[in-house]
């Protein structure tokens, strides 16, 4: 089963860009996922278990490295066309 997700990370620190960039890099490093980033969020698409496991792993690594943060996620079953304009 395919899963599409939209993620927005809000680091609870003044220097917020490094945690966001690191999370995106972690997500993009996972083989088999399509990852698209824009100014507001990051979308990813792939196998359900791969998406969920990758998000959990990346969030854990980010929290351990950068401390407190909020990750807002939307999960939509199915493979949405995230790499094309609506």
Range of the domain at 58: 2-77
Nearest residue to 67 via CA among 59, 55, 75: 59
- CATH assignment at residue 71: 3.30.70.930
Domain count, the chain: 1
Given this model, what pLDDT does residue 85 score?
A: 58
pLDDT-derived band at 4 (thresholds 50, 70, 90) equals very high
Given this model, what pLDDT does residue 5 score?
A: 97
Average pLDDT over residues 67-71: 97
Given this model, what pLDDT does residue 79 score?
A: 85
For residue 54, what are the CA distances in angstroms to 23, 62, 84? 10, 12, 23
Coil, helix or strand for 54? helix
Is residue 83 one of the residues assigned to a domain? no
Average pLDDT over residues 6-12: 96
Taken in order 37, 33, 27, 74, is the CA torsion positive or negative? positive
Is residue 85 one of the residues assigned to a domain? no
- The pTM score is 0.88
Q: Tokens 């100014």, residue?
A: 39
């Amino acid at each position: 089963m395919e899963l599409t997700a939209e993620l927005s990370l809000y680091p609870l620190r003044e220097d917020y860009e490094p945690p966001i960039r690191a999370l995106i890099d972690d997500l993009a490093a996972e083989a088999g996922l399509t990852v698209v980033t824009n100014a507001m969020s990051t979308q990813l698409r792939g196998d359900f278990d791969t998406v969920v496991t990758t998000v959990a792993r990346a969030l854990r690594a980010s929290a351990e490295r950068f401390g407190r943060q909020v990750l807002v996620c939307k999960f939509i079953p199915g493979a949405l066309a995230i790499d094309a304009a609506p």
